[in-house]
């Protein structure tokens, strides 16, 4: 059963949704969507104490260093934010990334990859690979690097693993996709079975994101839609997803596909939770628990 805090947050989301003007005859512009998404994320979560945030450039890509007190100097998590490849930023996700940094006990490099429609696929992947390569150039051993990301950033996390493998580059120690978006066509049953309870992600909205992200390209390209990739040889995965998500089947299918490919994979489904509920860190116990699990998993993998 969801906590009182989770139910209160859900009630607030329903109120906001019901108060939102009908846009069926007017699609919001990209800038309007971006402004709304940034505002929504700003209300989510609590910035943890004892974390220093600074701007950097990683392989030519803007990024944030997020460094907790007493962070291990030789370990790092590269974080890839969500937003449908269209919206949000490293700054919008700084509270979630900082929570992961504190839970893991190491630095986080949060990557501000380029967004569509100005920069469609493969620009986000190109930037992710550049940032990962920069970490290697800085002297971080692959076994001391992890990659994590939420939603589109979760899909980008898996795509990065595939691209690294295909290029003959070393895999990181582990990866944590959070509510990953890996199917650009929305073929999972949960797109319909969870439509009545998911307050954030709808099929029609995803279709618009896809059109801008893929820009006429192949919706089955594994580096854009990792559901269609061969997952052989990728790093260990720890997948988290909410039980009330339309994207639930993206996570469950990713776990099954990775297991069949011989990957080390763990999946946690959190009952009654919404898309990327971890962003409510500090506001509800389910988010705190999920981030603590991520931290424990990564701390173990990065210390082997």
Shortest CA distance to 239 belongs to which of 124, 155, 127? 155
Shortest CA distance to 81 belongs to which of 268, 279, 252? 279
- Residue 245 annotated among the catalytic residues of the structure: yes
Shortest CA distance to 279 belongs to which of 291, 297, 296? 291
- Residue 275 annotated among the catalytic residues of the structure: yes
The catalytically annotated residue of 81, 110, 275, 286 is 275
CA 281 to chain centre: 15
The catalytically annotated residue of 110, 151, 190, 251 is 151
The catalytically annotated residue of 89, 245, 251, 286 is 245
- Residue 89 annotated among the catalytic residues of the structure: no
Shortest CA distance to 155 belongs to which of 264, 93, 42, 231? 231
Q: Give me the count of residues in the chain.
A: 304
Active centre residues (catalytic): 151, 245, 275
């Amino acid at each position: 059963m969801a906590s009182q805090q989770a139910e209160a947050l859900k009630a607030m989301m329903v109120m906001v949704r019901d108060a939102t003007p009908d846009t069926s005859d007017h699609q919001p512009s990209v800038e309007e969507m971006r402004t709304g998404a940034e505002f929504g994320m700003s209300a989510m979560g609590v910035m943890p104490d004892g974390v220093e945030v600074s701007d950097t450039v990683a392989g030519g890509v803007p990024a944030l260093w997020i460094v907790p007190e007493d962070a291990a100097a030789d370990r790092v998590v590269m974080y890839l934010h969500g937003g449908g490849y269209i919206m949000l930023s490293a700054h919008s996700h700084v509270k979630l990334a900082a929570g992961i940094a504190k839970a893991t006990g190491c630095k986080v490099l949060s990557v501000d990859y380029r967004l569509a429609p100005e920069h469609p696929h493969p620009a986000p992947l190109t930037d992710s690979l550049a940032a990962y390569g920069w970490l290697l150039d800085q002297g971080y051993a692959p076994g001391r690097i992890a990659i994590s990301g939420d939603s589109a950033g979760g899909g980008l996390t898996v795509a990065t693993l595939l691209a690294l493998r295909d290029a003959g580059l070393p895999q990181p120690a582990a990866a944590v996709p959070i509510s990953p978006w890996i199917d650009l066509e929305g073929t999972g049953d949960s797109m319909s079975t969870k439509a009545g309870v998911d307050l954030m992600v709808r099929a029609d909205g995803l279709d618009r994101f896809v059109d801008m992200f893929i820009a006429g390209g192949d919706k089955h390209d594994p580096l854009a839609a990792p559901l269609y990739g061969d997952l052989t040889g990728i790093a260990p995965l720890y997948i988290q997803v909410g039980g009330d998500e339309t994207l639930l089947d993206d996570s469950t299918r990713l776990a099954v596909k990775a297991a069949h490919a011989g990957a080390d994979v763990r999946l946690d489904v959190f009952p009654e939770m919404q898309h990327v509920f971890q962003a409510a860190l500090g506001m509800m116990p389910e988010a705190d628990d999920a981030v603590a699990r991520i931290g424990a998993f990564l701390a173990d993998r990065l210390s082997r």
